[in-house]
Structure 1
């Protein structure tokens, strides 16, 4: 919460020294970052993500020798990617964990961004200062993304450093690019749920209501949406046992297209393709298309082109949620 008023001296026209560093926008960003870091909900989620990361790395290091020695796997040469994908049946890899924990991180840091300020009476006092409404909303979004970005980058650097100390193998440039894009997509994925939770905090009066609504949306897309799509498609379309191979391919393509409405499906498709270079397609492939194909990892650029629609979908969803929240917040009258 913004418990301190902004200094009027920092925004005077004549105060040019350090004006950018002490502008209202960056003052709010700094204050929001400090509030998030000191909050118990962030500390709990931070510890949960770090412990999950360390457990996944421990399991991956235990299976690393076997995964790299498997010459039948086209991706066995990418040691650092194996740190993020090699695992046992008892524990999924880290990017699968992150598809569940990322939404919780974004929701927990944004569900009370605006309505808690209004309920505590600090929003009207803040608007009395020389602060634009768009600066307030954007600062709350940017401050959270800075914290999330710092967390993910620190974990990746820890993974790279630990892998270098244990194995002594130099990282290939393609591996570094894939890992950096994986981090960027993970930040974008958290940013979508953050923008959605901020939108709900603007539209709903109580913080508890916005939190429950955001968690309900997350559970629907993560758990129930896939079941609902399968039930609807099987009800409408004929029995797959009486279809040809081409009709079955179109049948599966329709299901995948409907599933990609879910942000978690977009994130899973994008991260799987980037961390496993041998993945050549995200849809069904016929035997004619597989004829003559040699199992080999794709170049980074081609993998990026495969996941570009998924990345564009996440960017568009984030922008739409933030734009709707921005429109509602700018037109809403703020009273004490």
Structure 2
């Protein structure tokens, strides 16, 4: 990144940290995470028994929502304010504009995640803190993937209201309805779908990949077999590849679209 792109990163970070919706949702996440830790501490529960799985559920709901909100106006917001042409007239390449917006908003997202999980770690008992720290990196990857999707949606549309509608629909689809669809598939087929197929369908969704990876880390490899669902986690190389694809592919697509699209 050049000097101009770094200045854009700084500007994006400052603007996003003042976003009231991001602040409200991040504060709610921190409050609920703190409550989970305090409850687990009062009941003398281990992180792997209750606190970890509960925080995984909270993170899989709140982090994608915050990330999509952060990304939904990245490009279309500039277009509606008629500042996109001015921004692209700066001595900076178009892919650097997308990258700067992504990085600046990712830093703001990292702060929101740090606030929520930091509060949980702070209120956890000493023996649980090391376990809960394992959540930080996967949660950042989850947020980065959904932020990248939000930026892509912002690049595809011409109105901010449309982008906002799309990110809400995307959140419901990937966080809620996707898993319900898989359960419906298993019910309709009477469980005849191959476990490998179910495993693939779960892990190609970033929210599903996050839940599977963290639930098995906290509750053991047989956590889903007890529910009659045999889903094997992907190997380390496949996991890294999936996260890399989800984070980089939408950002790269956004850069290509902005490069090809005529800005008026």
Give me the TM-score of the superposition, normalised by structure 1.
Answer: 0.67
Counterpart for residue 56 of structure 1: 36
Alignment of 1:286-305 (within 5 A): none
Contact persistence 2:56–2:214 (CA under 8 A) = yes
Alignment of 1:87-166 (within 5 A): 93-163=54-124
Describe the superposition over 1:154-202 as per-residue Cα deviations: whole angstroms up to 9, x where unpaired.
4444444444xxx5x467xxx74x6444211111111111111111111
Counterpart for residue 273 of structure 1: 216
Contact persistence 2:75–2:151 (CA under 8 A) = yes
Contact persistence 2:63–2:113 (CA under 8 A) = no
Given the superposition, is the C-alpha separation of residues 132 and 306 from structure 1 closer, same or farther in structure 2, using an over 3 Å criterion?
closer
Alignment of 1:8-87 (within 5 A): 23-64=3-44, 67-68=45-46, 84-85=51-52
Structure 1, gaps ≥5 residues long: 1-19, 69-79, 86-91, 241-247, 286-303
Distance 1:233 1:93 in 2: 25
Moved more, 224-233 or 114-123: 224-233
Which of structure 1's runs of 4+ aligned residues deviate more than 6 A? none
Counterpart for residue 203 of structure 1: 156
Contact persistence 1:60–1:83 (CA under 8 A) = yes
Establish whether residue 188 from structure 1 lines up as the match of residue 129 from structure 2: no
How many residues of Structure 1 are paired with residues of Structure 2 in the alignment?
A: 258
Distance 2:183 2:120 in 1: 38
Q: Secondary structure at the match of 2:92?
A: coil
Structure 2, gaps ≥5 residues long: 227-232
Contact persistence 1:197–1:211 (CA under 8 A) = no
Distance 1:202 1:26 in 2: 21
Distance 1:216 1:114 in 2: 19
Contact persistence 1:179–1:275 (CA under 8 A) = no
**Per-residue deviation, 1:83:** 7.4
Which one has the largest radius of gyration? 1
RMSD over equivalenced CA pairs, Å: 2.9
Given the superposition, is the C-alpha separation of residues 275 and 283 from structure 1 closer, same or farther in structure 2, using an over 3 Å criterion?
closer
Give me the TM-score of the superposition, normalised by structure 2.
Answer: 0.84
Distance 1:225 1:156 in 2: 25
**Per-residue deviation, 1:36:** 0.9
Counterpart for residue 229 of structure 2: none
Counterpart for residue 200 of structure 2: 257
Which structure would you say has the larger RCO, counting Cα contacts within 8 Å and 6 or more residues apart? 2
Contact persistence 2:9–2:101 (CA under 8 A) = yes
Establish whether residue 333 from structure 1 lines up as the match of residue 262 from structure 2: yes
Distance 1:107 1:255 in 2: 26
Given the superposition, is the C-alpha separation of residues 144 and 191 from structure 1 closer, same or farther in structure 2, using an over 3 Å criterion?
same
Given the superposition, is the C-alpha separation of residues 275 and 145 from structure 1 closer, same or farther in structure 2, using an over 3 Å criterion?
farther
**Per-residue deviation, 1:107:** 0.8
Establish whether residue 319 from structure 1 lines up as the match of residue 260 from structure 2: no
Q: Secondary structure at the match of 2:71?
A: coil
Given the superposition, is the C-alpha separation of residues 103 and 305 from structure 1 closer, same or farther in structure 2, using an over 3 Å criterion?
closer
Counterpart for residue 230 of structure 2: none
**Per-residue deviation, 1:253:** 4.2
